[in-house]
Amino acid sequence: MAEPQTRTRIQKKNRTTILDAALDVFSQFGFRGSTLDQIAKAAGLSKPNLLYYFPSKEAIHVELLSCLMDTWLDPLRDLDPNGEPRDEILAYVRRKLEMSRNFPRESRLFANEILQGAPRIMDAIKGELKELTDEKAAVIQGWMDAGKIAPSHPYHLLFSIWSLTQHYADFDVQVRAVLGDEGGDPFPAAEQYLETLFSKLLAV
Amino acid sequence: MAEPQTRTRIQKKNRTTILDAALDVFSQFGFRGSTLDQIAKAAGLSKPNLLYYFPSKEAIHVELLSCLMDTWLDPLRDLDPNGEPRDEILAYVRRKLEMSRNFPRESRLFANEILQGAPRIMDAIKGELKELTDEKAAVIQGWMDAGKIAPSHPYHLLFSIWSLTQHYADFDVQVRAVLGDEGGDPFPAAEQYLETLFSKLLAV
DNA sequence: CGTGCTTCTGACCAATTGGTCAAAACAATC
DNA sequence: GATTGTTTTGACCAATTGGTCAGAAGCACG
């Protein structure tokens, strides 16, 4: 954020390495359950070296979260008020599911933070996230009022999209365990199921 | 489990107190993020006294989880193969949402454990949970084959019920933050939304 | 009251925690 | 090769961790 941009390539490389390792650890054990030694080991660096690049454990976590919130909201930002309502919402579901597939660690990091009461991210939730949600909920409400899609609760519609898509990242081990060993990749079936679900919900 | 049932009333009371306090702490910070001191303080007991009633931190956690899995599956057990398909599934959704409302800590404890890869509960997931899910998925598949409800993927249908209902416990702070201060209790609107969603999905 | 059992605690322990620091190793420029 | 700045580390620190233990306090029952 406010840091000067005087980064050598070594700095860039090591900061990236550290953040990646920290994402591994934090997303699995949460903030308090993770240790600097764990992160250092995962990054292949010594603990004092970590603290050469970041001032503290908390700073690493904060950096991860603030990077996360931006990319996390991107799929929703792309919901186009001028697009075809049904297609827009279904495409949003698809983008969000794709994020769960490609960035499960980020999803779990977020889930961990919310589970703990969002102590380090509440500002962004009540700020950026709420504003964007309000805006898009209004768009959806407009579509409903215009009879373009079936009426339902726009906020809970968005909640349900978040919940259903993130579930396949956050509860991945449960999904795979229940589907069994020869279940294969659960995502294609998930995508088809979610498309059916929301198609029927939105059909006028 | 294997413990003898020689519990005095003091033992019963204190074990209950400890488990309740531990549920508070574990459900928020996960296993590794929680400390015995925290739990002791929450329970109003000294740390050595905790360890008089439970042999270790892990033992408390295991006790909580094994108690949890049973009650957690109850709503699904009650899904009656001989009932009216649509009503049975909608009633299951309602029961599960009720559990999220009444036992949010239990839901978060479970979520925390799954997020960490379910190290202490994988047996129960691949055992009890999978068996019950297989059984009920077969029932639902039967209903679909008989044309009683619209065809869709029975396992992902169950996943979606878990995901949507538990979301209101696990992501409670996010839901309330987005809905705003005068949003009030989110559960009535959630119940109505979910009823609409699944009614439309199941309608033939 | 006294005896025996249950309940509880302060003091303690070794290991781990997040974090510091001086000095060493490295890299780049002249 | 000398000089300067960057990067890395081993040794260390105070605080916290899960857990132990001897004994004190409470309790029930003859």
Which pLDDT tens digit goes with each residue over A108-122?
999 999 999 999 999
Please work out, in degrees rounded to the nearest 5, the angle formed at the alpha carbon of residue A73 by the alpha carbons of A68 and A75.
Answer: 120
As a three-state string, the secondary structure of chain A is: CCCCCCCCHHHHHHHHHHHHHHHHHHHHHHHHHCCHHHHHHHHCCCHHHHHHHCCCHHHHHHHHHHHHHHHHHHHHHCCCCCCCHHHHHHHHHHHHHHHHHHCHHHHHHHHHHHHCCCCCCHHHHHHHHHHHHHHHHHHHHHHHHCCCCCCCCHHHHHHHHHHHHHHHHHCHHHHHHHHCHHHCCCHHHHHHHHHHHHHHHHCC
Please state whether strand D lies within 7 Å of residue B57 at its CB atom.
yes
Q: Are A78 and B137 in contact (CB under 8 A)?
A: no
pLDDT digits over A119-170, tens only?
999 999 999 999 999 999 999 999 999 999 999 999 999 999 999 999 999 9
Does residue B2 carry a pLDDT above 50? no
- Between CA A146 and CA B37 the distance in angstroms is 57
Predicted local confidence at residue A150, as pLDDT: 98
Residue A42's pLDDT is what? 96
Task: Please tell me the predicted confidence (pLDDT) of residue B66.
Answer: 92
Provide the shortest C-alpha distance from residue B30 to chain A (in Å).
Answer: 7
| pLDDT of amino acid B4 | 46
* pLDDT mean across residues, chain A: 95
Q: From the Cβ of A52, is strand D under 7 Å away? A: yes
**Cα A21–Cα A23–Cα A27 angle in degrees, nearest 5:** 130
Flag if A179 and B155 touch (Cβ within 8 Å).
yes
CB contact under 8 Å between B118 and A174, yes or no, is yes
Interface of A with B in 151-170 (CB under 8 A): 152-153, 155-157, 159-160, 162-164, 167, 170
Exposed/middle/buried for B92, CB within 10 Å: 0-12, 13-18, 19+?
A: buried
CA nearest to nucleotide C8 C1': residue:
B49
What average pLDDT score do residues A81-86 get?
A: 98
CB burial string A137-149: b at 16+ within 10 A, e below: bebbeebbeeeeb
Write down the ipTM of this complex: 0.92
Give pLDDT, residue B8: 76
Q: Is the pLDDT of residue A4 over 50?
A: no
Mean pLDDT of chain B: 95
Type of residue at A161: I
pLDDT tens figures, A8-56:
777 889 999 999 999 999 999 999 999 999 999 999 999 999 999 999 9
CB atoms within 10 A of CB B11: 12
Q: Which two tokens stand for residue B82?
A: 């001989």
Local confidence band at B204 (pLDDT 50, 70, 90 cut-offs): confident
Give yes or no for a contact between B76 and B142, defined as CB atoms under 8 angstroms apart. Answer: no
Give me the mean pLDDT over the A93-102 stretch.
Answer: 98
Instruction: Please report the pLDDT score of residue A11 as a whole number.
Output: 82
What pTM, to 2 d.p., does this model score?
0.94
For the segment 11-40 of chain A, residues whose CB is within 7 A of strand D: 11, 14
Classify burial at B162, counting beta carbons within 10 Å of its beta carbon; exposed 0-12, middle 13-18, buried 19 or more: buried
Model pLDDT, residue A7: 72
B128-156 average pLDDT score: 98
